[in-house]
Amino acid sequence: MGIRAHVTQRGVNRQICFAGDEDIAAYVHWLNEAASKYGVLIHAWVFMTNHLHLLLTPTEENACSLCMQYIGRYYVRYFNYRYQRTGPLFEGRFRSHPIQADVYYLNCSRYIELNPVRAGMVSDPGEYRWSSYCAQALGSTVDMWTPHKQYEQLGETKSARQIAYRRLFEDELNEAHICDIKQCQETGFVLGTEKFRRQFEELTGQPQFHRKRGPKATRRM
């Protein structure tokens, strides 16, 4: 099983990619289909007007990429046909960064589900229909949702987990955590402790820290 990934996708130039509930429902249909086809577990999500967030676990190599490519083929065709437009809908390739789940899963999940609150669309995440809060906090049945291990450890019963999860939202998400998540979204770095990031870098060869530029070499004449 692969490492958990926080995936984001934005409309071109931050333009609308979901004009209404029917569009989101269509995207969810293909997301669920692709996740089943390629072996991706879906833990958390939010669909906003011009972007989306997903918290995924791939069970096969390249599963996340194949999943997002599949959705892109079908949803963009649907959206362009429906609104009589042409050209790309999303801003380049989707963005993704790994997560050290045992430390950061719940923070990342809260960050995702608080998007509508930060955007001023609702005052409580439970008021927004298109996020995983309805499943994790309120117990709604959502076919595509797979509870994450860190979520399941919140309590011994479904009710206890929902109550414990709601309590996490009684305190504001630390500003430092928000900055860390946003930085990882931009850089693709792992959202994790420094030790974990160094281990990840050594294992994969993928840089996890900004490197300071050394002095320019003096040209010899």
- Tell whether 32 is covered by a domain: yes
pTM, rounded to two decimals: 0.84
**Residue 217 has what pLDDT?**
42
Element (H, E) at 26: helix 21-38
Question: Could you tell me the end-to-end alpha-carbon distance of the chain, in angstroms, rounded to an integer?
Answer: 55
Give the range of the structural domain holding residue 124, as residue numbers without chain letter. Answer: 5-204
pLDDT in tens, 181-193: 787 777 767 766 6
- Tell whether 28 is covered by a domain: yes
- Tell whether 123 is covered by a domain: yes
The Cα 120–Cα 151 span in angstroms is: 26
Percent of the chain at pLDDT > 70 equals 82
pLDDT in tens, 80-116: 999 999 999 998 778 888 887 666 889 999 999 999 9
Number of independent structural domains in the chain: 1
- Tell whether 221 is covered by a domain: no
- Tell whether 209 is covered by a domain: no
pLDDT in tens, 156-175: 999 999 999 999 999 888 88
Helix 175-187 / helix 101-113 crossing angle, nearest 10 deg: 100
Mean pLDDT score, 52-80 = 94
Q: Where are the alpha helices (DSSP H) in 43-157?
A: 63-82, 101-113, 115-118, 133-136, 149-152
- Tell whether 198 is covered by a domain: yes
| Residue, of 26 and 177, whose pLDDT is higher | 26
Q: Average model confidence (pLDDT) for the chain?
A: 87
- Provide the CATH number for the domain around residue 9: 3.30.70.1290
Q: Does residue 11 register a pLDDT over 70?
A: yes
- Tell whether 212 is covered by a domain: no
- Tell whether 79 is covered by a domain: yes
